A and B are shown apart, each in its own frame.
Chain A
Amino acid sequence: MFVYADNAATTAVSKNVLDAMVPIYTEVYGNPSSLYSVGQKAKEILEESRERIANILGAKPREIYFTSGGSEADNQAIVSAARFGEKKGKKHIISTKFEHHAVLHTLQALEKEGFEVTLLDVHENGVVTPEQVADAIREDTALVTIMYANNEIGTVQPIAEIGAICKEKGVLFHTDAVQAVSHIHINVVEQNIDMLSISAHKFHGPKGVGVLYARGGVALTNIINGGAQERGKRAGTENLAGIVGMTVALEDAVAHMDENNAKFEKLQDRLIEGLSKIPYSELNGDRNQRVKSNVNFCFEGIEGESLLLLLDDKGVAVSSGSACTSGSLDPSHVLLAIGRPHEVAHGSLRISLGEDATEEQVDYIIKSVTEVVEYLRSFSPFWADLKSGKRPHVFH
């Protein structure tokens, strides 16, 4: 059996999406900036896509900027707010400890320039509270940026409430909605969102295309300089096929969101129940306040990379937050942020289901994970020490 269960990393492009993209490459290949018909046809499709995406988000078309993906949208949102705030002497930014690196590394760069960054602690359940945000806001706060749903543990943040606080205090609010937009209904007006990032490849669209929504009146700073595309705020000939693919993908995702979530919920219950039977394991992130397709576990006594390599041999594609899979030497900053000690953070597993997942697949995942964890523990000196009581267990 082959089960792709790493949809939080990326997804397959759907047939619908591909079918919509191909004619853009072969027929409407004109440059939207060109004045002849094939260019103007492209321009028309570009603006129609902008309108369709705006509709889904409850935004105005002129508030939608196409980017090369989630990372660029995050970078531009944060840098723009920083430059805007700076002019008024506001050089403080609030975020959280478990943001995506596209956010954290942009903030680090600003810190080097003299900005002050407050990274809020994340509670054990993987959620920050509106009160934490309210308490952290200062006179000189230029921006609050908090992700909508976490990419590793899937926990969903109280975005509308946080947005309301920012609105009341007159602070710009950005949310990285890359992991949320296909799982949670988003309306930027109702949810008090000033800026929002999206990436197409997380919901069966193509890679390398995304959206930055910026409310009218929010001054954007260019990250990519050059031509006058995207109302002068993002240079570069538009990736029209990608934009069209993203538009179709987002419409499909939103149209099927409720039915998909209902299905995911059952599979999520089944997965959590099944994996909880593995001794000394624990779910990461809140049981309920999470994206329905995400399950993330820590297993004591084993290391995540060997777990996922052996799962790959069984045809199960998943990911881990272990140091040895991150390419760095530390385990996932997300798991550390929710208070997992290093030794269990190394043994983590993220399963993110796709819409076509079945009960049989979920049962196969449970069976495979159970077998591999048991096998790796059979020759783990760490597990032997936990079993003999030489080292204390973290879980019960």
Chain B
Amino acid sequence: MALYSEKVMDHFRNPRNVGVIEDADGIGEVGNPVCGDIMKIYLKINDEQVINDVKFETFGCGSAIASSSMATELIKGKPLSEALQLTNKAVTEALDGLPPHKLHCSVLAEEAIKSAVKDYYDKNGIEYDPADFPEDHDCEACHVH
């Protein structure tokens, strides 16, 4: 069996929504170079609180790039409230699964989206429950430091 599903390889080889949004309404970045994965999400959000556009940049393995791509697909055109519900599990399922030791590489997608939404709330003075937003990626999975 191959390491990755066809779906993962497709999103890895042809990532959707790659790039930068210069005038983004919210930007989230999680991970760090020491751990070997960084993901950055750019959101364009309209007055109805709907994600009009989303782009990502990722430094990481095949699983990290594919999860970034899939996650952006899953939230594009969706209301913020829905995007915030996106879980790592949903991303993994949409990719037809990931090898167990690769799951931690896909967690960043969920975290990066939350971080970008939080950035948008902060910039616009919108109130939110901090409990909905996890602290920055805590490196629990990666025991390198």
Is B40 within 8 A of A305, CB to CB? Answer: no
Q: Is B110 an interface residue (CB 8 A)?
A: no
Partner of A381, one of B57, B101, B142: B57
Q: Give chain B residues whose Cβ lies under 8 Å from the Cβ of A310.
A: 13
Partner of A331, one of B13, B36, B57, B65: B36
Distance of A384 Cα from B19 Cα, bound (Å): 11
Q: What mask results when residues 297 to 323 of chain A are scored 1 for a CB within 8 Å of chain B, else 0?
A: 000011111100110010000000011
Q: Give chain B residues whose Cβ lies under 8 Å from the Cβ of A383.
A: 59
Is B34 within 8 A of A343, CB to CB? Answer: yes
Q: Is B119 an interface residue (CB 8 A)?
A: no
Partner of B59, one of A313, A331, A342, A380: A380
Which A residue sits closest to B29, measured CB to CB?
A381
Q: Is A367 an interface residue (CB 8 A)?
A: no
Q: Is A6 an interface residue (CB 8 A)?
A: no
Which range holds the interface residue count of chain A?
Answer: 20 to 34
Is A380 within 8 A of B57, CB to CB? Answer: yes
Q: Give chain A residues whose Cβ lies under 8 Å from the Cβ of B105.
A: 324
Q: Give chain A residues whose Cβ lies under 8 Å from the Cβ of B35.
A: 323, 329, 342
Q: Is B33 an interface residue (CB 8 A)?
A: yes
Is A382 within 8 A of B13, CB to CB? Answer: no
Q: Give chain B residues whose Cβ lies under 8 Å from the Cβ of A384.
A: 57
Distance of A303 Cα from B35 Cα, bound (Å): 10
Q: How many CB-defined contacts (below 8 Å) exist between A and B? A: 84
Q: Is A201 an interface residue (CB 8 A)?
A: no
Is A327 within 8 A of B101, CB to CB? Answer: yes
- Smallest CB–CB gap between A329 and chain B, Å? 5
Distance of A310 Cα from B66 Cα, bound (Å): 13
Q: Is B60 an interface residue (CB 8 A)?
A: yes
Is B59 within 8 A of A303, CB to CB? Answer: yes
Partner of B60, one of A306, A329, A330: A306
Is A329 within 8 A of B143, CB to CB? Answer: yes
Distance of A97 Cα from B91 Cα, bound (Å): 39
Q: Is A379 an interface residue (CB 8 A)?
A: yes
Distance of A271 Cα from B15 Cα, bound (Å): 30
Distance of A87 Cα from B126 Cα, bound (Å): 73
Distance of A303 Cα from B57 Cα, bound (Å): 13
- Smallest CB–CB gap between B51 and chain A, Å? 19
Which A residue sits closest to B32, measured CB to CB?
A343
Partner of B58, one of A343, A346, A380: A380
Is A301 within 8 A of B144, CB to CB? Answer: no
Is B144 within 8 A of A303, CB to CB? Answer: no
Q: Give chain A residues whose Cβ lies under 8 Å from the Cβ of B64.
A: 303, 306, 324
Is B12 within 8 A of A306, CB to CB? Answer: yes
Is B19 within 8 A of A309, CB to CB? Answer: no
Distance of A99 Cα from B64 Cα, bound (Å): 30
Distance of A302 Cα from B63 Cα, bound (Å): 14
Distance of A388 Cα from B37 Cα, bound (Å): 19
- Smallest CB–CB gap between A251 and chain B, Å? 37
Q: Give chain B residues whose Cβ lies under 8 Å from the Cβ of A380.
A: 38, 57-59
Which B residue sits closest to A378, measured CB to CB?
B18
Is A324 within 8 A of B60, CB to CB? Answer: yes
Q: Give chain B residues whose Cβ lies under 8 Å from the Cβ of A342.
A: 33-36, 144-145
Q: Give chain B residues whose Cβ lies under 8 Å from the Cβ of A306.
A: 12, 60-62, 64-65
Q: What are 25 A-B pairs with beta-carbon distances under 8 A? A: A303-B37, A303-B60, A303-B61, A305-B61, A306-B60, A306-B61, A306-B64, A306-B65, A313-B13, A324-B62, A324-B105, A325-B61, A327-B101, A330-B144, A342-B144, A343-B33, A343-B34, A346-B33, A346-B36, A379-B19, A380-B58, A381-B39, A381-B57, A382-B38, A384-B57
| Residue positions of A touching B, CB distance < 8 A | 301-306, 309-310, 313, 322-325, 327-331, 341-343, 346, 379-384, 391
| Residue positions of B touching A, CB distance < 8 A | 9, 12-13, 15, 18-19, 29, 33-40, 56-65, 101-102, 104-105, 141-145
